[in-house]
A and B are shown apart, each in its own frame.
Chain A
């Protein structure tokens, strides 16, 4: 009796838990029922009988035909209407004008079509969904048009090998594209990036460790000032270095000066993102390390920094990507040259964005093509840096990839072997220590504690 009741109640309740559970339940309780048991006395209203077909889960996220057809229909209708009307009733012109009119007509058509079958909240919902999607589409189209345009305009220069291996020292503005290249700018960018990496990475990571691991009045001051300096317009970093390094200290404009300006600009950005990454390191890892008796510097070095490694790498790379593309501080501090200069200490040195800016400004068709080609090379560099950052930094602190997890397991089993070997060595000299036995009842340290 009770078993029947339980079962009928469970029929409704456990439906969502899946068929496997239901079957298991049936198998266990079906035996308890007596053979001559009458039909169940209580039938709960609304519960389907056992022969009812299993409920099919509704696909909430999938597009149904009722949603798709009005959308396609309105798109086609709006396109035809716009092509018919454009230029007659509207005073707009050009591609952007056409797209704007098309979009408005489409929204209107779609709203009307949907309102034929749906109520008002549903119409609002559909129209707003379309608006949100089109915002994303606009953003992506803009991004793609920026990237594609730079490559299309630069391709004339990019196809020549000399563009990558020569500099512009013996190339006039009217020379064909088969002469001259931007190797000096590529090398200049690499040198400047390297120097600013050497400055910012140790300083930035040490400072973010300081912000996270210590607590004093100075800490909050440093954090506030760093936050403030992320607002520093990049041109001011250049102006500062120009005024101090060049005008007051009397050094010439050089790659080193530009690197320092870039470092001043990227340092706060890097510290802020590294600060966030370190804050996400789980506290129990720190506590576990402290509980094992590690001093704080060992905790930082062996626990905190390795845990946050991927996030830290990402913040460094994104900071550098920002610095690589920065033109304004380099414009004021690096000077301009068209020949190769490997020495960051003396003589002007150029970077890719500065070269692109200068070449395009000259206005000659060949120089313009070189300028766009330079921008395309810069874009490739940024894309590479960005992809590396994505690959390394996909996961939050403490979550390991499969390879890292395997490595951790291997390390810890090596540790276990080492500890065991040491125990065995100790056991051979000292008989009172119980031999390690993981499956035995008493833990190995009990003998010491009881004594």
Chain B
């Protein structure tokens, strides 16, 4: 023991003397030249790692570039009208994504509008309210919710939820039908005998189902952010006599604002790309339909899923163009999301 201590002192003394020497002569110590000689193992290792990195890069770029090349044929022939046309008849040269993109965006917006309060409430409940034993269970269950296959959500939405939610649709239409987008054209809410089919297969129902898939994604990001709220600020709020909700409102929510926005947009990106659950619920239509409660809707991804086998050549190129447009939108949404998370106060270490 004593020997070790002596050694340590000796070493410290030696270092000190050399530095004093340099100070005395007034010359800065010449910087040591650092030469890294990589052995054969390291060279093989770096070669392999770089190769796999470059390979992944190549695959990913190939997907994007290939879609763009394939789509260019259709885009060239349609030009700007691709964005404004709502019908889809590529064989007659008339096709555009106006209707299907509108449907996609509306479904995603409904989904986020429903998922946002639930995910935020759940995230706050997990981090602020729940006792410890419940917390780990809740975290696991929310993660499980993200892992449930979308076809299962689709089955649930199409065969269980659809029947139950029509009453809610009718009620919303009856009371809030004066708001333009909640109106249903062919429905008469005052007649009890009116058919329910005007409410089924709507954007709203698809949105509710997609909300189930979006909610855990948002919840994970928000939980991560809320759990990083500095303890000192929390306790400061409590010490000033704040209630728990007061602390959340004044400390946690402002701190986590970037995470809330970023998580919401990440969920939006996922909602835009959802395919099979939407296919199972909506009945496709090709007009500009703003009425979310009305039967019939469409989305880009379900459109691609339904039409790929019926199309060939030019039609397929048009589908690629639609897919490319969808990809561009999700890309913008996702990068905006990570930008929000990264520049927020809490976002430096969180992963979203």
Footprint of B on A, CB under 8 Å?
Answer: 61, 90-97, 100, 121-122, 124-125, 128-129, 131-136, 138-140, 142-143, 145-147, 149-150, 153, 202-203, 206-207, 209-211, 213-214, 218-219, 221-222, 225-237, 239-240, 242-244, 247, 264, 267-268, 271-272, 276, 295-298, 300, 318, 321-322, 324-328, 331-332, 353, 356-357, 360-361, 371-372, 375, 378-379, 382-383, 385-386, 390, 440-443, 446
Contact = CB atoms under 8 A, between A and B. Distances in A.
B319 interface: yes
Contact of B275 (A131, A271, A327, A378): A327
Interface in B210-260: 212, 215, 219, 242-246, 248
26 contacts: A93-B167, A94-B166, A94-B167, A121-B246, A124-B243, A124-B245, A135-B121, A136-B130, A146-B152, A209-B49, A222-B53, A227-B335, A228-B331, A231-B327, A232-B273, A232-B327, A235-B301, A243-B70, A243-B320, A318-B147, A357-B154, A371-B155, A372-B155, A386-B144, A443-B3, A443-B7
A411 B224 CA distance: 36
Interface in B24-52: 38-39, 41-42, 44-46, 48-50, 52
Contact of A136 (B59, B125, B154, B242): B125
Given A296-B45, A386-B143, A441-B1, A203 B52 contact: yes
B303 to A, nearest CB: 9
Secondary structure class of chain B's binding surface, majority of residues = helix
B327 to A, nearest CB: 6
A129 B244 contact: yes
Q: Closest 7 interchain pairs by CB?
A: A135-B121, A325-B149, A233-B273, A297-B45, A94-B167, A206-B52, A125-B243
Given A218-B54, A232-B63, A233-B323, A325 B150 contact: yes
B156 A145 contact: yes
Interface in B123-173: 124-126, 128-131, 138, 140-145, 147-156, 158-160, 164-168, 170-171
Given A243-B316, A443-B7, A132 B164 contact: no
Contact of A139 (B60, B145, B154, B168): B145
A234 B273 contact: yes
B44 A297 contact: yes
A150 B152 contact: yes
Secondary structure class of chain A's binding surface, majority of residues = helix
Nearest to B171: A92
A225 B61 contact: yes
Contact of B164 (A90, A96, A244): A96
A233 B326 contact: yes
Given A97-B167, A132-B128, A235 B66 contact: no
A402 B4 CA distance: 32
B23 interface: no
A267 B56 CA distance: 8
Nearest to A325: B149
Given A97-B171, A271-B56, A331-B305, A231 B49 contact: no
Given A232-B327, A276-B351, A441-B2, A325 B151 contact: yes
B275 A233 contact: yes
B243 to A, nearest CB: 4
Interface in B45-79: 45-46, 48-50, 52-57, 59-61, 63, 66-67, 70
A125 B160 contact: no
Contacts of A131: 121
Given A210-B50, A360-B155, 16 more contacts: A94-B165, A129-B245, A135-B121, A138-B118, A146-B152, A146-B212, A147-B152, A149-B155, A211-B53, A218-B54, A234-B275, A264-B59, A267-B59, A296-B45, A297-B45, A390-B143
B334 interface: yes
A96 B166 CA distance: 9
B117 interface: yes
Contact of B326 (A132, A236, A379): A236
Nearest to B323: A236
B128 A92 contact: no
B112 interface: no
Contact of A240 (B63, B149, B244, B335): B63
A360 B153 CA distance: 13
B308 interface: yes
Contacts of B151: 325, 327, 353, 356-357, 375, 378
Contact of B272 (A233, A237, A300, A357): A233
A150 B304 contact: no
A139 B327 contact: no
Nearest to A354: B151
Contacts of B155: 149-150, 153, 356, 360, 371-372, 375
Contact of A382 (B149, B331, B338): B149
B276 interface: yes
Contacts of A218: 50, 53-54, 57
Contacts of B154: 357
B105 interface: no
Nearest to A121: B243
A66 B70 CA distance: 68
Contacts of B140: 390
B147 A125 contact: no
A74 B204 CA distance: 32
B35 to A, nearest CB: 15
